[in-house]
Amino acid sequence: QVQLVESGGGLVQAGGSLRLSCTASGSIFRTMAWYRQAPGRQREFLAAVTTSGATNVADSVKDRFTISRDNAKSTVSLQLNSLQPEDTAVYYCNADDDQLRPWWGQGTQVTVSS
């Protein structure tokens, strides 16, 4: 059974940092990624990483966010630095299984105060 479980969200002041983690189980995941969705907004792609270590990060956050992956533990992390109030959103982990079916975590809330 496929499961994606996120953790690490919370409340921080502007300029602060958070590290989000996602643990996936139940399949082999070629690509794992992070998205976010703010109230009233569409879900936004942030970053992705493959089993080979190739990464793709959205231009809007490339200077502040870093994605990494631990294949042995089937985890993907997102380091959030220099957070601003506009970064406030629910952050979601995403992964494609060996049948190329997409799976989503439950989301973790990130709130940045000014």
Which amino acid is located at 45 in the chain? F
* Cα 31 versus chain centre, distance: 12
- pLDDT-derived band at 73 (thresholds 50, 70, 90) equals confident
Mean pLDDT of the chain: 95
pLDDT in tens, 23-47: 999 999 999 999 999 999 999 999 9
Report the b/e string of 43-82 with b at 16+ CB within 10 A.
ebebbbbeeeeeeebeeebeeebbbebeeeebbbbbebee
Other residues' Cβ atoms within 10 Å of the Cβ of residue 100: 8
pLDDT of 3 > 90? The answer is yes
**What is d(CA 45, CA 53) in angstroms, rounded to the nearest whole number?**
18
pLDDT per position as a tens digit, 47-70: 999 988 999 999 999 999 999 998
